[in-house]
Amino acid sequence: MRDPASEISENYIQRISPEQLVAYAVQSGAGIVASSYNEPLITSEWAVSIFSVAQKAGLKCVYVSNGNATPEVLRYLRPYLVGYKIDLKTMQDKQYRKLGGTLDNVLDTIRLANESGLFVEVVTLVVPGFNDSTEELIDTGRFIASVSRDIPWHVTAFHPDYKMAEPPPTSIDTLIRAAEIGQEAGLNFVYAGNIPGRTKEYENTLCPNCGMHLIERYSYVIQSYNLTENGTCPRCEIVIPGIWTDKPEDVRTGGMGMPRPVRW
């Protein structure tokens, strides 16, 4: 995609094999391999070539995608994935088409991924004047709950940058309102992100049954981790949906959860 002869390509772009990538993941102490930016659906064959090696190395595999998938590509990916994070940008098709997508495709992907047994998470970047009306947030929360109340919904704050210098940043009040709407829709796990330490309990994972703090976070940092090795609440023993480690004693807390650097 870049000019192979350019300085950027010559100095920074290098060929790498699936085996090398997985070796780096293992070396860093990672437990999961994710195919993400820009849009992994357009390079699904490359992702599968990596995932097939990663599985053999004992790593879990996930997708981070805009959700404009087809049933065929979901079937192709399913043997390798345990989780699928999907952006649900708006509940208005006309707004989706401005972004180059189609609303129904994304809604279908959320349904199909959930029905296939993948652990699905949904993220909505809340952009002032684009998708932050109470009515639209209610529609979003209700749709997700209609698929499964156990799908986590992350509402994240927009900030102006690069070619999108407008509108202004998403306010804390708007983000908390969105999270509260998700809870009112019946969702068990709602998170508010991009504003660390300022969104009340919406950075943490609470047991939907007894309210115990299961995971406490500050931004990307896990401050405490209380799930059992079976992924249950230690107080009331209900199963918490998710992709959890069976060795909770190995969870690195207090800023120690970042993968270790590797030598390229």
- The pLDDT value given to residue 59: 97
Residue 258 has pLDDT above 60, yes or no: no
Q: How confident is the model at residue 168 (pLDDT cuts 50, 70, 90)?
A: very high
| Separation CA 81–CA 77 (nearest Å) | 6
* Least confident piece of the model among 30-39, 76-85, 114-123: 30-39
Residue 9 has pLDDT above 70, yes or no: no
Q: How confident is the model at residue 15 (pLDDT cuts 50, 70, 90)?
A: confident
Per-residue pLDDT tens for 198-245?
Answer: 999 999 999 999 999 999 999 889 999 999 999 999 999 999 999 999
Q: How confident is the model at residue 52 (pLDDT cuts 50, 70, 90)?
A: very high
Q: How confident is the model at residue 45 (pLDDT cuts 50, 70, 90)?
A: very high
Q: Model pTM greater than 0.85? A: yes
As a whole number, the mean pLDDT across the chain is 92
Residue 264 has pLDDT above 60, yes or no: no
Q: How confident is the model at residue 254 (pLDDT cuts 50, 70, 90)?
A: confident
- The pLDDT value given to residue 14: 77
Per-residue pLDDT tens for 69-79?
Answer: 999 999 999 99
Fold (topology level) of 66-202: TIM Barrel (3.20.20)
| Separation CA 192–CA 132 (nearest Å) | 14
Where exactly are the structural domains of the chain? 66-202, 204-264
